Amino acid sequence: METLAGEWWESGSWWQFAITISVSLMAGALAAWAALRSTNPKRKINWWIQSNTPLFNRPAGDGALLNVALGSVRLSSPRIVELVISNSGSRDVTASMFHEGESINFDFDEDVSAILDVVTDPEGTLLPRIEAWRTLIPATGGRHRGGILIKPSLLRRGQTIAVTVLVDGEEKPVQCAQFPLIDVDQSNVRPGSLSREVVDVLPNTFLHVGPFRIRLSR
């Protein structure tokens, strides 16, 4: 018996129709997205740990040839941590956006002994006031934990601030314990990089078009 018609995906007119519909939908979505962005500009703060480097390969003990002290206090597990905060959004973040004058609070889960350096880029942008905090952990024999506070300030669009701190303790994940900015998103990944979850999922994701199976990847 002679076949009068092939499968639907073999029809050239169907593919032309599908492509036309897809392009129209994409154009409409892009136009709506552009209109939304123009009326509601996005504000976003990214932050990440640039480096977390111990000064010793092992904790400094009484028999160590080299010790580090801050004033009269000896540091047993000193490390240098660099935290970077970036205004990656399309608008400036102003001091008035800090709800009730509260600060952004980063918790290092170890004792922050000192703030060593603060650098802003581009050069000439305003540096926010940054303070270290520490608190005694009950029932730990005098162990402290600490972090830093970013006080309300103007953060320019595209501005990046690098804060270098001296920490005494093991390497722990840094957490943003408080983010009181109004109508500002936050993300703990470097701008332009994919999150670990997305990277793990993409290699196992497929798109089905008719009889075709397309694997998605980075």
Answer yes or no: are the C-beta atoms of 125 and 83 closer than 8 Å. no
Which pLDDT score is estimated for 116?
Answer: 96
* Mean pLDDT of all residues belonging to the chain: 81
- Tens of pLDDT, residue by residue over 148-175, are 999 999 999 999 999 999 999 999 999 9
Render pLDDT for 94-150 as a digit per residue (tens, 0 to 9): 999 999 999 999 999 999 999 999 999 999 999 999 999 999 988 888 888 999 999
Q: How far apart are CA 74 and CA 68, in angstroms?
A: 6
Please give the model's pTM, rounded to 2 decimal places: 0.69
Residue with the bigger pLDDT between 16 and 109: it is 109
- Would the pLDDT of 204 be above 70? no
pLDDT at 80: 96
For the stretch 65-105, pLDDT in tens is 677 788 888 888 899 999 999 999 999 999 999 999 999 99
d(CA 167, CA 188) in angstroms, rounded, equals 20
Q: Are 165 and 81 in contact (CB under 8 A)?
A: yes
For residues 110 and 11, the model is more confident at 110
The C-alpha atoms of residue 28 and residue 141 are separated, in whole angstroms, by: 63
Residues 4-25 have a mean pLDDT of 63
